[in-house]
Amino acid sequence: MGLGGCIILIAVGAILTFATDWELEGVNLTLVGAILMLVGVIGTIAFTSIARRRRLLMTQTPPVVEGGRTHDDRLI
């Protein structure tokens, strides 16, 4: 689930919790909305932490190869 899916879950959960007055027998829509919002927030946190780790790995110093040169030095 990407960031867009997480935001949609938060939006649908907020709509169910705060903007509806439907009543279904045996279903508490306020609780369902709160659960959807919670799952969306957890998904957003997980997605951003994974994206941060990927960005960190991509910006690290390149490994040193033979002769003390890096991959970037060979391009010059």
pTM for the model: 0.68
Closest to 16 (Cα-Cα) out of 29, 28, 25: 29
Q: How many whole angstroms separate alpha carbon 15 and alpha carbon 37?
A: 10
Q: How many whole angstroms separate alpha carbon 61 and alpha carbon 8?
A: 37
pLDDT tens profile 32-70: 999 999 999 999 999 998 877 777 777 666 565 666 555
